[in-house]
Structure 1
Amino acid sequence: MKNTICAVLFAIVSAAASAALPAPRDIPFKGEIRLSVDATDQVHKILRVRQTIPVQRAGKMVLMYPQWETDSHSATQELTGLAGLIVKAGGRRVEWLRDGGDPYAFHIDVPQGARELELEFQFLSPTAGNVLMSRDMLTLPWQKVALYPAGWFIRNIAVRAELKLPAGFQYATSLETAAVQDQLVSFKPTTFDDLVDAPVHAGRYVKRFDLAPGAARPVRLNMIGDNEAALAIPPAMLDKYRAMAVALPRLFRSEHYRHYDFLLTVSDILPSGGGREHQESSENNFALDFFTRPDAHLPMADLIVHEYAHSWNGRFRQPADLWSPTMNQPVRGSLLWVYEGQTEFWGRMLAAQLGLRSRQQTLDALAVDAANAVARTGRQWKSLADTTNDPLYMPGRRMQWRDWQRREDYYGEGVLLWLDVDMLLRERTGGNKSLADFAGAFFGAGASGRNALATSTYTFADVCKTLNAIAPYDWAGYFDTRLRAHDDGHLLDGLARAGYRLVYTDEATGYFVQNEDFNVGGMDLSTSLGVTIGKKGVVKTVAWEGPAFRAGVGIGARLTTVGEQPYTDEALKQAIKSAATTKQPISLGFDADGRSQTVLIPYYDSLRYPRLERLPGKPDRLERLLAPSPPAL
């Protein structure tokens, strides 16, 4: 008898492991999913979920937990937070079996006569790292609290969602509200596709501002903070955000959304320093003192512009190989240098035009972009085109050798690439055309009046075709040369066409210092000695084949001496300056791998901090591009 039971169990498990998951089809889904989330357990940071899913027919059915998150371009949704899954039909429990090949898939045998499945489970929110909940704040990405039936495009699956908030919380989202009763918010029916593109932010301390008063398509700034003081946005900054709400629709020549909501957290508890794009909203996470000390956060000044631009470049128009009918179909990112690279370019330029950064600060930011790109020695083996595969295997994984391994360089290097395209368009049309003409024609022209949430896909050929209509050229060959290059021969062409060159001096710019603090949390000597150094003299990174690398300094070494002195950051800087004059190697002592040692580093080129310098006799083509708002595009 025991052998018979084991054989049956083995057969069931084997069947689940080998069963093909239903392929998504673009067909109607009958009925609507009802989703109820209780977010009131702030102590344990647990989201409690109830979900009902209409049964289409009895028999075999597969429920999917989302894995591929749209804004990360990769399979970044972790499954470990899903717990306590119970499935019932007609009040009676129905057993589920996890797929042996895809753990995000749950096989269910739906009993005859069942009209709907009743699901109950919890999402266990992280208490460290990517925190979603605090005592005073909540961010809710719907994909973490919902399953959906396999076999349909998720744009065809209707959903009616509701959310129970902690007492005293207000909320913001691009979802449209149906009703509010006490702490329970009910949203109007939408599709599963649109639901996961419309997160909810909520909190105890909330401020809202209309950025486009009187506009047919409202644009709202929703700020949620750790405390009331964090939300004290300076009136001048608010005016710049209102100018942004005018400038981007003007640039892209459309307002494809019904309304747009900035979801802005100002917090040192929830993660700060990043953003997520959606079509009718964006998530922007700022440090607690962002508005009380705006001049201390220059590297983040263009984040809100970047995420807003993604509503057009990335969400309304999306690369064909990044689009998927579900959240469990693998995607590719071969055009991320368009999706992210050009968006990053517009973030840089519009931040200057809107006064979020000064013209000089923008030039200094471009110098850092250029210096970082030049330092990517990994270009010798890994092209810019290949970095578009990075989201498929690098997300969340520690990377020790940033310059050699490369990661997602289509952001910063994309700025330089699209700067060159802009300058080349101006050059070839006598200054009459620019990248703004491409942005309007490609990402938005004719969009007004269309279905606000319809995504239109594009290919590499479409990009080249639109550019050719603006200025005939071998654009396919142009991009192929630069995307597949293993040298930096064309890397700084855009700066040169603009009338600038990259130089290094021994004095850091204000932007470099802030970027150094934001990205390193210590001292950045990557373009001189070839190291970045964190707290207590610990070496965080070593430049591949740089001076420190060749001398035998490794990642994780703790610096102890500089010459005859105890180690300090300032002592090392002075030693580098002195070596440039005396031509004597730098003596550096450190502890590593359980022993102490001293090395001599023959580096004599002083400190090197990036700046842009005007090219003599060349017109300044950045002057017009960086001119204050209204944009002189």
Structure 2
Amino acid sequence: MSSSVRYRLCVLDPQAHLFEVTVTVAQPAAAGQVLRLPAWIPGSYMVREFARHIVQISASSGKKAVALSKLDKHSWQAAPVKGELTVRYQVYAYDLSVRGAYLDANRGFYNGTSVFLSADGFENAPCTVDIDAPASKALSDWQVATSLPALDVHKKTGFGRYHAANYDELVDHPVELGRFQRVTFKACGVPHEFVVSGACQADLKRLAADTKRICEWQIRFFGEPAPFDRYVFMLFVGADIYGGLEHRASTALVANRDDLPAPGLAEGEIGDGYLRLLGLISHEYFHSWNVKRMKPAVFTPYDLNREGHTTLLWAFEGITSYYDDLALVRSGLIDEKRYLGLLAKTITGVMRGNGRTKQTLADSSFDAWTKYYRQDENSPNSIVSYYTKGSLAALALDLHIRRETGGAKSLDTVMLALWQKWLADGQGLAEGEWEQVAGQATGLPLGQYFDKAIRSTQDLPLAELLATQGVSLQMVPSDSPADSGSVVDSIQPAAVRPTFGVKAAADTLGVRLLQVLDGGAAQAAGLSGGDVIVAVNGLKACDLDKAISRHKVGDTVKVHAFRRDELATYKVTLQATQADTCRLSLAPGAAAWIKS
């Protein structure tokens, strides 16, 4: 296969976490070929400066060295040459997240945006990539997993040549390298592969069976055939990690190893950790339609050199967050009560952040680059998540449509209309177009709803809308510090507890304040995020809630805390816990919307 641009990637030094990459341009620009590494990766809206991980770079043509000039933080220009141009460089890969690249003696992983320079003028040209088997005998049992189309690869290991129609396709198929467990299944006739790396003991057949149910429901929801010929889940398991990133025919996931289904797990048994993993799987898979195909116009095509601002991330991340849990119910993995428990926690999480009174969903979407992805100790006081509040806006829209149409239409109607539009024109959605399609599909005047839910900081009328489905919602003070919302048979008054109004974590000196919440007791006393409380009423601070458990609202406690290296004394007058915890109760036979 003849390609204008050819790539080769090899494992150079696992101990130093170095990949070596070469890119060869057959007919480089006469004035000198420009090459660039993306500044960000689609699906994660922050400029990440991947070029900072390029350790060494050089160019040649034939046997002659070619000068390279740095144009900016992620671009180089080669001197003019008459023949082929080859650029060789090393990439430091030690990012365990789903967004970058990683390499050690146990595993390799990369997204194309972290390792493959694009050649200006050839972004739409076909290209090939040779993934070389490691030279070290110690890595002779490594394999490759990727959804990138294979051209000439080793049948057993997967090393060899792959191809892509263009650069955008090349970087939208991450690659897992190493020793991993693998299980396969078909969903609606489409081959699916689940690859798990990292030390674990798990029932992968159970994982595959449950994932298959999710995939088949989602494929049938949008309508067969699926928008891909095969699909690969790449999961790395470890400790205290969680996340995922969607791609056109695959997803990269990281999760706690204990979240995997244990061998011998009873049929139908799903613990909280496994439920969280299934929700992540559902979320990233739903993105195969909602953001990988249907997407904002500003992302068609992606400009990976700079930010792409849109007010629509709530519709692509928030709505996906709504359907990820719904898919668990509608595929039969959990029941309505379990679903409502998840919903109660989402509502609680949103209501506990004062940022919802200051930032709209439209602004949250637009400012993702500088606010949501760059959070600090004041974030709960200043921003709202387009994921979580976005999912509640999707719920409210769904129930509003059902109420106004007598159950004849729903958010499902809108999503299917959007999908049919994409199948017809393949175009991205202009900023106001999502709302236009929603109005046309439902026959409803939805402008007022969007003004309130998306472009204002008003709280969503969830109690009113859920009541139309036989679900009662009440916000109450939490029962305990661990109370994050729940489903109950009946809503009972909760005892009022004293609180500092902080989020905290253990520290070697005492308790570190991660966040000090607006209007809370700690803020009123002058404490700030980052302060370390070492004593409360003269006793070493280990657990703030335990320290004040014998006090009542209105009591004043003496707090000693370090701010940087300076010790100060504060008098904190304890406040009452707020009514910020969601209780949902379900009438018999109610909540039919959850299943249809």
User: TM-score range, shorter-chain basis?
Assistant: 0.7 to 0.9
What is the alpha-carbon distance in structure 1 between the residues aligned to residue 589 and residue 396 of structure 2? 14
Which residues of 2 match residues 257-406 of structure 1 at below 5 A?
257-268=227-238, 272-292=241-261, 295-297=271-273, 298-324=275-301, 326-354=303-331, 359-394=336-371, 397-406=374-383
> Are 1:191 and 2:166 an aligned pair?
yes
Given the alignment, which residue of 99, 102, 114 partners 1:132? Answer: 102
What is the alpha-carbon distance in structure 2 between the residues aligned to residue 216 and residue 53 of structure 1? 39
TM-align CA RMSD: 3.2
Change (3 A) 1:398 1:470: closer
**Is the CA contact (8 Å cut-off) linking 2:101 and 2:114 kept in structure 1?**
no
Unaligned 5+ segments in structure 1 are 1-29, 515-524, 627-631
Change (3 A) 1:585 1:576: farther
What SS does the aligned partner of 2:79 have?
A: strand
Task: Give per-residue Cα distances to partners, 1:280-312, cap 9 Å, x unaligned.
Answer: 111111112221566252544411100000010
Other-structure match for 1:4: none
> Are 1:613 and 2:584 an aligned pair?
yes
The one-letter amino acid of 2:593's match is L
> How far apart are residue 396 of structure 1 and its match?
5.6
What is the alpha-carbon distance in structure 2 between the residues aligned to residue 149 and residue 205 of structure 1? 33
Other-structure match for 2:519: 545
**Is the CA contact (8 Å cut-off) linking 1:170 and 1:206 kept in structure 2?**
no
Change (3 A) 1:225 1:513: farther
**Is the CA contact (8 Å cut-off) linking 2:4 and 2:27 kept in structure 1?**
no
> How far apart are residue 477 of structure 1 and its match?
3.3
Other-structure match for 2:53: 81
Task: Give per-residue Cα distances to partners, 1:67-107, cap 9 Å, x unaligned.
Answer: 232121342242111132111123212212111xx322222
Change (3 A) 1:352 1:338: same
**Is the CA contact (8 Å cut-off) linking 1:378 and 1:404 kept in structure 2?**
yes
Other-structure match for 1:442: 418
> Are 1:179 and 2:147 an aligned pair?
no
What is the alpha-carbon distance in structure 2 between the residues aligned to residue 224 and residue 251 of structure 1? 27
Higher relative contact order (CA 8 A, sep 6+): 1
Aligned residues: 564
TM-score normalised by structure 1 residue count: 0.80
> How far apart are residue 135 of structure 1 and its match?
2.5
Moved more, 464-473 or 331-340: 464-473
Other-structure match for 1:33: 5
Other-structure match for 1:459: 430
What SS does the aligned partner of 1:458 have?
A: coil
> Are 1:149 and 2:119 an aligned pair?
yes
> How far apart are residue 128 of structure 1 and its match?
7.2
What is the alpha-carbon distance in structure 2 between the residues aligned to residue 528 and residue 356 of structure 1? 38
What is the alpha-carbon distance in structure 2 between the residues aligned to residue 573 and residue 72 of structure 1? 38
**Is the CA contact (8 Å cut-off) linking 1:53 and 1:116 kept in structure 2?**
yes
Change (3 A) 1:511 1:415: farther
What is the alpha-carbon distance in structure 2 between the residues aligned to residue 140 and residue 319 of structure 1? 26
Which residues of 2 match residues 15-164 of structure 1 at below 5 A?
31-39=3-11, 41-99=13-71, 102-111=72-81, 114-126=82-94, 132-151=102-121, 154=123, 156-164=124-132
Given the alignment, which residue of 467, 471, 496 partners 2:442? Answer: 471
Task: Give per-residue Cα distances to partners, 1:159-211, cap 9 Å, x unaligned.
Answer: 11111244211221111222234783211443211111111112212212214
> How far apart are residue 364 of structure 1 and its match?
3.0
Could you tell me the percent identity over the aligned residues? 20
> Are 1:168 and 2:141 an aligned pair?
yes
TM-score normalised by structure 2 residue count: 0.85
The one-letter amino acid of 1:286's match is A
What is the alpha-carbon distance in structure 2 between the residues aligned to residue 470 and residue 395 of structure 1? 31
What SS does the aligned partner of 1:512 have?
A: coil
Given the alignment, which residue of 174, 179, 183 partners 1:204? Answer: 179
What is the alpha-carbon distance in structure 2 between the residues aligned to residue 277 and residue 331 of structure 1? 18
What is the alpha-carbon distance in structure 2 between the residues aligned to residue 62 and residue 562 of structure 1? 61
What SS does the aligned partner of 1:202 have?
A: strand
What is the alpha-carbon distance in structure 2 between the residues aligned to residue 233 and residue 494 of structure 1? 40
**Is the CA contact (8 Å cut-off) linking 2:144 and 2:159 kept in structure 1?**
no
What SS does the aligned partner of 1:126 have?
A: coil
Change (3 A) 1:564 1:121: closer
> Are 1:420 and 2:396 an aligned pair?
yes
> How far apart are residue 317 of structure 1 and its match?
0.9
> Are 1:483 and 2:454 an aligned pair?
yes
> How far apart are residue 231 of structure 1 and its match?
4.2
What SS does the aligned partner of 1:85 have?
A: strand
What is the alpha-carbon distance in structure 2 between the residues aligned to residue 66 and residue 584 of structure 1? 55
Change (3 A) 1:74 1:559: closer
What is the alpha-carbon distance in structure 2 between the residues aligned to residue 58 and residue 505 of structure 1? 69
Task: Give per-residue Cα distances to partners, 1:565-590, cap 9 Å, x unaligned.
Answer: 54342x6247357415xx53455443
What is the alpha-carbon distance in structure 1 between the residues aligned to residue 9 and residue 483 of structure 2? 43
What SS does the aligned partner of 1:258 have?
A: coil
Change (3 A) 1:549 1:169: same
> How far apart are residue 456 of structure 1 and its match?
3.2
Task: Give per-residue Cα distances to partners, 1:471-519, cap 9 Å, x unaligned.
Answer: 22222332123222134365766545543324224435988399xxxxx
Unaligned 5+ segments in structure 2 are 135-139, 263-269, 487-495
Change (3 A) 1:474 1:513: closer
> How far apart are residue 131 of structure 1 and its match?
6.1
**Is the CA contact (8 Å cut-off) linking 1:527 and 1:609 kept in structure 2?**
no
Change (3 A) 1:360 1:534: farther
The one-letter amino acid of 1:66's match is P
**Is the CA contact (8 Å cut-off) linking 1:302 and 1:356 kept in structure 2?**
no
> How far apart are residue 446 of structure 1 and its match?
8.2
What is the alpha-carbon distance in structure 1 between the residues aligned to residue 65 and residue 142 of structure 2? 35
What is the alpha-carbon distance in structure 2 between the residues aligned to residue 208 and residue 541 of structure 1? 42
> How far apart are residue 541 of structure 1 and its match?
1.0
